[in-house]
Amino acid sequence: MLPTTMNTLPAKMVEGLSIIRTFATFPSSQLGAPSYGFVSFLHHNRGSRLNFPKTVWSLEKCSMRVENSLQALRPASEAFAQEAIEALKAGKVIAVPTDTLYGLACDACSSEAVNRIYEIKGRKLTSPLAICVGDVSDITRFAVADHLPHGLLDSLLPGPVTVVLKRGESSILEKSLNPGLESIGVRVPDADFIRLISRRSGTALALTSANLSGQPSSVCVHDFENLWQHCAYVYDGGILPAGRAGSTIIDLTKRGTFKIIRAGSAKEQTVATLERYSLLEEADSAA
């Protein structure tokens, strides 16, 4: 019905409808994302109203905005690792899957990129960011770990755990990252793509969950569609099975003890590992 009707519409209106029709039938396999039909398109863009001819231009802009966002969507595979690294080196923010949640990542040694993450999330500057490194052996470039039992970090990582350690004088992290804090949370996720780009970039990635501050965390890319436009690329690793609890955060800054900062998704196995290495849980000072 649409092609026949379009013969009787003004040229500008036909152009606008053509954009919508093209978008509605564009092969999803070329976008690396689920297909969007016309009804779904309107559902995702409730602000657009079909009052012809007044809103044809707004529909054009809306479809272009959605198409541009979809063009940033990529599979989280090795084939796209180099472009992710180049974006990071250019000070851009990307979205990546981890072994727990989707995260926003940037070069931890770029103060501009780190500030951009805070802006995107609407996060208070007093809320610290963690870093991600490619391998356990990289941790000592950024934090102090020589007080820990030999083999402990290799038993905990890679995995859904954030270890909080002191930075130390030898840390190559920028002082502008988490200013005023002597410690840093470090992750080595059990997720190939983020470890690959971190390893090949030769630096640490500043990492935080891909959601607006105070909103639910994201386990699939569509959970944070509202943030796509702020990312150079969004890497799709499918639906993450760990749930929304995030990583287990443990404070290992003191010799011989540990403190659970956040239970996260792996508390029981993490505590069991720590106790196997004869670490004692620090008493809660609030108790």
For domain 63-281, give its CATH number from 3.30.70.3420, 3.40.50.620, 3.90.870.10, 1.10.600.10.
Answer: 3.90.870.10
Q: What is the dihedral of CA 119, 120, 126, 131, to 10 degrees?
A: -120
Q: What is the pLDDT of residue 199?
A: 97
Within 10 angstroms of residue 86's Cβ, the number of other Cβ atoms is 13
Q: What is the pLDDT of residue 125?
A: 85
pLDDT tens digits, 265-281: 999 999 999 999 999 99
Better-predicted residue by pLDDT, 51 or 218: 218
pLDDT tens digits, 44-66: 454 544 444 444 444 454 444 55
pTM of the full structure: 0.76
Looking at residue 231, its amino acid is C
**What percentage of the chain has pLDDT greater than the value 90?**
68
Alpha-carbon Rg for the chain in angstroms: 23
| pLDDT, the chain, mean | 82
Q: Where are the domains of the chain?
A: 63-281
pLDDT for 89 beyond 50? yes
